[in-house]
Amino acid sequence: MVMVQHLVKRYGEFVAVDDISFSIEEGEIFGIIGPNGAGKTTTVECISGLRTPDSGSISIYGLSPQKDRNRIREFLGVQLQESAMPPRLKVGEALELFASFYPNPVDPDRLLETLGIIHVKNSIFKKLSGGQKQRLSIALALVGNPKIAILDELTTGLDPEARRETWALIESIRDRGVTVILVTHFMDEAERLCDRLALINHGKLAVLDTPEAIAALAGGNRVRFVPSQPVDDKTLYAISGVVEVERKERYITVTGTGDLAASVINSLARIGVHVSDIEARGGNLDDAFVKLTRDDASGASGGVQP
């Protein structure tokens, strides 16, 4: 229902988005992740019609965000990164105002209740906390009863508790049938919320898959330990599931698949080597992110972004 094909956007010489294509399914939480300045925000700004692409096409339910701006705005809710309101505007007034912009708005009070900010309905914007401002921003994106919500960096600047609450909220929005496009640079957020992720780096689509599949790209599980006596690489590579071996001082780190910790302990025990200081963890999105963005940066382009 959202189709992006060969999207290109330049700011002068700088190519912010360089030939990106993807499609978003109805009812999913679609994540767009990437380092700062990778082109995430530019991509969603093109989708929301705030910017006009230099080339490529975007289609939302068959409509173009540029040509059919007015119709798309009726069912597309947008939460912008760093957007303030007049300081003395009250929460309730802002919501009533935005509700009046849409043909089929939801009840502002119910929305404020759902978002847990009904108690600040009569407070002015200036007096709100960071978390409350963020919730209000989400409320404004949802008051028009959108079919698609674009949320850009919505938990940046929130404390851990507020972040978790916001995540629960996003899930409840999705459960109501709203398609969510989530821009973030927090991997835990992407892992927890998104059905699929597009990783953008230097304006290009590096990978598009489920969070689990992307995490697996980092090389799977990882076990670090200290052996009771030296073990050579050959022995380690012979252990089932081991793919890679790294050494750092006394520590050996093996990467691989399956129940890696158990097979390492058992195999080494059989040849009389005990392991201590053992630390095991699964492959995660953080590793994949670092790996994918670093691989790209060391490539031919290697350009420094402005």
Binding site residues, other proteins, CB under 8 A: 1, 26, 48, 50, 61-63, 70-71, 73-76, 78, 80, 82-86, 88-89, 93, 96-98, 100-104, 124, 140, 144, 147
15 bridge partner residues: 10
Please report, to the nearest 10 degrees, the dihedral formed by the alpha carbons of residues 274, 278, 282, 284 taken in order. -140
Give the DSSP per-residue string, 240-271. Answer: TTEEEEEEETTEEEEEESSSHHHHHHHHHHHT
User: Rounded to whole angstroms, how far apart are CA atoms 23 and 212?
Assistant: 19
Residue 165 CB, nearest approach to other proteins (Å): 23
Residue 53 CB, nearest approach to other proteins (Å): 17
Angle between helices 160-175 and 130-142 (to 10 degrees): 10
Contact 205, 7 (CB under 8 A): no
Residue 180 CB, nearest approach to other proteins (Å): 16
Residue 150 CB, nearest approach to other proteins (Å): 9
Contact 142, 94 (CB under 8 A): no
Cβ proximity to other proteins: between 104 and 301 the closer is: 104
Cβ proximity to other proteins: between 62 and 272 the closer is: 62
The region, left, alpha or beta by phi > 0 then psi within -120 to 50, assigned to residue 243 is alpha
Residue 114 CB, nearest approach to other proteins (Å): 20
Contact 283, 216 (CB under 8 A): yes
User: Rounded to whole angstroms, how far apart are CA atoms 276 and 283?
Assistant: 21
Residue 153 CB, nearest approach to other proteins (Å): 13
Residue 121 structure tokens: 């309905």
Cβ proximity to other proteins: between 97 and 169 the closer is: 97
Residue 49 CB, nearest approach to other proteins (Å): 8
Contact 8, 15 (CB under 8 A): yes
